[in-house]
Amino acid sequence: MDLNFSPEDTAFREQVRRFVSENLPESIRHKVMNGIHLEREEHVRWQRILHAHGWGGVGWPKEFGGPGWSPTELYIFEEECARGGAPRLISFGLKMIAPVLMTFGNAAQQQRFLPKIMAAEEWWCQGYSEPGAGSDLASLKTRAVRDGYHYIVNGQKTWTTLGQYADWIFCLVRTDPEAKKQSGISFLLIDMKTPGVTVRPIITLDGAHEVNEVWLEDVKVPVENRIGEENRGWTYAKFLLGHERTNIAGIGIAKRELVRLKSIAEAEGRLDDPLFAARIAQVEIDLMALEITNLRVLSAEGAKKAPGPEASILKIKGTEIQQAIAELMMQAVGAYALPFRQTDVGPDYAANLGTGYCNLRKLSIFGGSNEIQKNIISQMIMGL
């Protein structure tokens, strides 16, 4: 057992750290470091900087133009990006649909879509959840009926993150209403410009427009935009959910936010309060433990042992920690956390803390709610 990173990994970390500090635009760094929402163009700009350096396909194997990193290298990359104030990767294309295309897509689909994901020329969004299908995703009702060379799609998707930016949406649709829940689902790629696709904003409690409803009314989707076989979509959907869970613990982001919390608490004189200092200590300790737990999971993954339901442990603890940090930051500034979406009152660092706290309540809900993760742990790991 050796808990130190190898010299190669340490050198790689240095390389990424230098790259981020030399190439990340200051205006973007400032926003990320202060919890300010990024515009589409800022995400795209960073992805294109990565792409120009040969790092466009983060997490991808070499055969598809990725850097072919190990799970540990990927972990280090994301940690260093977070540390340096780089935006999160645009995961819908890179981490969700891309692995599905690589594994289940045909050559034409791979050639059509993958390069544009890497170059940030096309933005993807996820058409999974529906008003009646959240945790029970397989009960989705969006209907696709075959009509010659097309499917005609009708239904409604919801909680579509950054759907307002998207060029394409990958959708789970029901192609066989007679079959049992999971067996009648297909996986379609839909051009957002197709007539009948309507995006309506959902404003969340922090006043932000991050998620959307996507309405599909008689949308014509060419059959060649189906992934794999008809009615096998659930298999691909579950595969995608597995990939969505890489970097699910968000260690790098939590570390960065913890540093921010401590500096705010210091500025506010809150570290002199032993009770508040102990609350920070608790979250810092939880994060230390989770970092090791995450590395244990990675190490098992690197050794080709199956990456399994352990990711649920990382999701629960990681989101709890990020939420706790956001909550403490808000508490640290007291009353100046309360002005709503104002930037000219109170200390600069206080401006986004109230809304930031509100926004991060999403963490324990999305990507499989933490209650669903506990179902997975008790059933898949513990056999209950």
Partner 1 sequence: MNFDYNEDQRALADTVQRFVAREYSFEKRRAIRASNAGWSREVWQALADLGVLAINIDEDYGGLGYGPQETGLVMNAFGAGLLLEPYLATAVIAPALIRRTASADFQEQWLPAIASGESIVVLAHADARGEPVTELGGNLTGRKAVVAHGGCADLLLVSARMPSGDAGLFGINAGSEGVAVRDYPTLDGQRAADIVLDNTPAVRIDAGGALDHIDAALDIGLAALCAEAVGIMQATVAATTEYLKTRQQFGQPIGRFQALQHRMADMLLHQEQARSMSYLAAMHCTSQDKTARQRTLSAAKVTVGQACRFIAQNAVQLHGGMGMTDELMLSHWFKRLTTIEMSFGDTDSHLARFARLSRAA
Cβ-based nearer residue to partner 1, 216 or 297: 297
At closest approach, how far in Å is the CB of 280 from partner 1?
Answer: 7
| CA dist., res. 250 & res. 254, Å (int) | 6
Q: Is 303 left (phi over 0), alpha (psi -120 to 50) or beta?
A: alpha
- Residue in 2, 1, 6 with CA at minimum distance from that of residue 76: 6
Q: Alpha-carbon dihedral of residues 278, 283, 285, 289, nearest 10 degrees? A: 160
Task: Count the residues in the chain.
Answer: 384
314, with CB counted inside 10 A (0-12, 13-18, 19+), is buried
Answer yes or no: are the C-beta atoms of 265 and 280 closer than 8 Å: yes
- Give the strand pairing for 124-127 and 168-174: parallel
Cβ-based nearer residue to partner 1, 230 or 284: 284
376-382: long-range contacts at Cβ-Cβ below 8 A with a sequence spacing of 24 or more?
376/309, 376/312, 377/309, 377/312, 377/313, 377/316, 380/308, 380/309, 380/312, 381/308, 381/309, 381/310, 381/312
Residue found under tokens 């058409």: 127
At closest approach, how far in Å is the CB of 212 from partner 1?
Answer: 31
At closest approach, how far in Å is the CB of 286 from partner 1?
Answer: 7
Cβ-based nearer residue to partner 1, 120 or 363: 363
For residue 244, indicate whether it is catalytic: yes
At closest approach, how far in Å is the CB of 235 from partner 1?
Answer: 26
Q: Which of 73, 130, 244, 327 is catalytic?
A: 244
The alpha helices in 6-86, defined as continuous H runs, are: 7-23, 26-33, 40-52, 71-84
User: Which residues bind to partner 1, rule: CB under 8 A?
Assistant: 1-6, 9, 72, 271, 274, 277-278, 280-282, 284-286, 288-290, 292-293, 295-296, 299-300, 303, 313, 316-317, 371, 373-375, 377-379, 381-384
The CB density around residue 120, as the number of other CB atoms within 10 Å, is: 22
- Give the strand pairing for 143-147 and 185-191: unpaired
| CA dist., res. 244 & res. 133, Å (int) | 19
The alpha helices in 269-309, defined as continuous H runs, are: 274-302
The phi, psi pair for 130, rounded to 5°, reads: -135, 165
At closest approach, how far in Å is the CB of 75 from partner 1?
Answer: 10
At closest approach, how far in Å is the CB of 293 from partner 1?
Answer: 4
Cβ-based nearer residue to partner 1, 218 or 272: 272
At closest approach, how far in Å is the CB of 178 from partner 1?
Answer: 30
Return the active site residues: 244
